Amino acid sequence: MAEGTIKRLTDKGFGFIDTGTASDMFFHMSALEGVSYEELREGQRVSYNPGQGPKGPRAENVRPV
């Protein structure tokens, strides 16, 4: 599993993870495991599996570290 930091959360149920590379990873609240979207905060460390969505790369199985 890859790790990153939550860079931005939106009020629409999705956010972006800073992966430490040039591009951020999109995630949707349906990809969360063991935590609700409301419990997340910007700057929090998470682990995830890189995946592919209909609009490009996205994080799957997102969990707090």
Query: Domains (ranges, CATH) in the chain?
Result: 2-64 (2.40.50.140)
- Asked if 24 contacts 56 with a C-beta cutoff of 8 angstroms, the reply is no
6-62 confidence digits (pLDDT tens): 999 999 999 999 999 999 999 999 999 999 999 999 999 999 999 999 998 999 999
Q: Output the pTM of the full model.
A: 0.93
pLDDT value of residue 11? 96
Residue type, 17: I
CA–CA separation, 23 vs 55, rounded Å?
14
pLDDT value of residue 49? 97
pLDDT value of residue 47? 98
Q: 3 falls in which pLDDT band (50, 70, 90)? A: very high
pLDDT value of residue 4? 97
